[in-house]
Amino acid sequence: MLEKKLQISTLSSSRGFLDMGGVGRQNITVKYMGQLSERPFLLACLRKFLRKEAEAEASRLCKFWQEQLMNPEWYPFKCDTTGGISEETINDDDVKLQELRATWGEESYKALVKALVNSFLELKECGKLSDRTIVAQLWNFKEDRKATLSESVEYVCSKVKSLSNKNVRTSTCG
């Protein structure tokens, strides 16, 4: 019961942060767990193309791989057992990953696979690996971890206080 209430509070807080329209650098904001970042794709494309073309290609590539990531039938991992310990590793025989390596080269391949693995891990952590839905999560970007509910409330209170002080200063100057 308490866990359910905490989940509802966290979801409400996430929605509130989305409504605030997080602009600029913030310590705590919403991170979309399972959503690929376009940055590794842009860096890979900049090795092959000029800036404008690289941006367009990175956007296309990121969209393509996000679609692959959201497909529950695609699972580019294999289970390796060493000394009785099982570990999931990238399946180098996966056709899509082989095409990625052949097209973009080893350095870009490693960066893009790292981004894919991170997104898979996020989905797994959120319990969304089976249906592959992206989850909005309050995130402490300063410490690179989930934000606690109390951190989120403190952050919002400090922003409200900051805005209140700004409004008081502007209204007394007029």
What is the pTM for the complete model shown? 0.70
Alpha helices in 126-142 (DSSP H): none
**Residues 44/101, Cβ–Cβ less than 8 Å:** no
Low-confidence ranges of the chain (pLDDT < 50): 22-24
Q: Report pLDDT digits (tens) over 95-124.
A: 999 999 999 889 888 988 998 899 888 888
What pLDDT, on a 0 to 100 scale, did the predictor assign at position 82?
Answer: 87
Rounded (5°) CA angle 139-140-145: 80
How far is the C-alpha of 95 from the C-alpha of 76, rounded, in Å?
9
What pLDDT, on a 0 to 100 scale, did the predictor assign at position 12?
Answer: 56
Q: Report pLDDT digits (tens) over 38-48.
A: 999 999 999 99
Q: What residues does each domain of the chain span?
A: 35-133
How far is the C-alpha of 60 from the C-alpha of 88, rounded, in Å?
28
Rounded (5°) CA angle 28-33-39: 85
SS3 label, residue 17: helix
